Amino acid sequence: MIKPHGSDSLNPLFVYDPEQHRALAHEALELPQLLINSAASANAVMLGGGYFNPLQGFMNKADALLTCESMRTMDGLFWPVPVLNLTDNIDGINGAKRIALRDPNVEENPVLAVMEVEAIEEFSEDEIHFMAEKIFGTTDAEHPGFATFVSLGRYCVSGPIQVLDFSYFQNEFPDTFRTAVEIRNEIQEHGWERVVAFQTRNPMHRAHEELCKMAMEAVGADGVVIHMLLGKLKPGDIPAPVRDAAIRKMVELYFPPNSVMISGYGFDMLYAGPREAVLHAIFRQNMGATDFIIGRDHAGVGDYYGAFDAQTIFDDEVPEGALQIQIFRADHTAYSRKLNKVVMMRDAPDHSKEDFVLLSGTKVREMLGQGIAPPPEFSRPEVAEILMDYYRSQAA
């Protein structure tokens, strides 16, 4: 099986031993408390689940700045995006050696993790904006990821953590949320050797469905893991429960039995385009996938990134051998009226734009909101029905 990133075995930071878990939970009640933000909470969940292997906790200032500058930590680990616990208020933890991190996304803010504080350092405003520009490739305050990042706080609390909870993800998505550990185990149980991973923050239409099948066939994969983001998105994106239902219906009706694992992970979308694509590849390698689909404008938003920047970063900026996972580079995929099937547009050079069924996301949302199903060449009717029900409920 493919090795995790940066180590021979996966090292999740969740405390699985019941006695140790109880002892830490009891200790946490007596420790100085820090209510963290959603971004730090998501980082803790990803550390707990093994997705951010081999990191042992939150980065310090030097590691964060170097990661943004060169995609390397101070000890040489290849890493594309800093994993930070930023805050504006350190009054309750200044001088503390161990602290309890409280979850901002769950009622009554339960303890999410216990942290050993190695340093509390302050970023200047220039340093925060330097990091944001490196991560997101822009200084535009309208970029949702940039705007979120620069608002998280200037104090960097760093050190190893022990995770006690997976926030709201396990309770709200019991059938879908899976740690990297659990996905690795399930891949082994299936006996799959070659595994394709597909990232999604949206419902899957015909093009996405066929792209998964194309990738499986092209690399000779035993199965595909459809791996959906379950955390926070920008306003207007379709919520996770609706996406989950739509994807499950599509897999049930249109994929061969036992060829797909449907799972999700607890992370907030960064909208960081190329850098986020590399981060996505790392945690797919950690969960055991051998191949990862990266399509047009992967992890992008608006017009901030070129259509294939998230692919070319693997050629231009990811050092050879830094990752073991293979990247399946996908073109824009659409239904061909000429061939009566979904194809990658680069594989149909004799086609004009009119030969494809092409609909913008805006147009599709308008149709669904009006109770009009997109054409079956674009969206499976059963999937469209779930999405129309959602839009009808929003309008009611």
Which residues are the active-site residues? Answer: 201-202
The closest alpha carbon to 274, from 314, 235, 245, belongs to 314
Check: CB of residue 186 under 8 Å from CB of residue 279.
no
CA-CA distance, 231 to 208, in Å (whole number)?
21
Chain Cα centroid distance, residue 43: 11
- What is the 3-state secondary structure of the chain? CCCCCCCCCCCCCECCCHHHHHHHHHHHCCCCEEECCHHHHHHHHHHHCCCCCCCCEECCHHHHHHHHHHCECCCCCECCCCCCCEECCCCCCCCCCEEEEECCCCCCCCEEEEEECCEEEECCHHHHHHHHHHHHCCCCCCCHHHHHHCCCCCEEEEEEEEECCCCCHHHHCCCCECCHHHHHHHHHHHCCCCEEEEEECCCCCHHHHHHHHHHHHHHCCCEEEEEEECCCCCCCCCCHHHHHHHHHHHHHHHCCCCCEEEEEECCCCCCCCHHHHHHHHHHHHHCCCCEEEECCCCCCCCCCCCCCHHHHHHHHCCCCCCCCCEEEECCCEEEECCCCEEEEHHHCCCCCHHHEECCCHHHHHHHHHCCCCCCCCCCCHHHHHHHHHHHHHHHC
Nearest to 195 by CA among 222, 229, 230, 167: 222
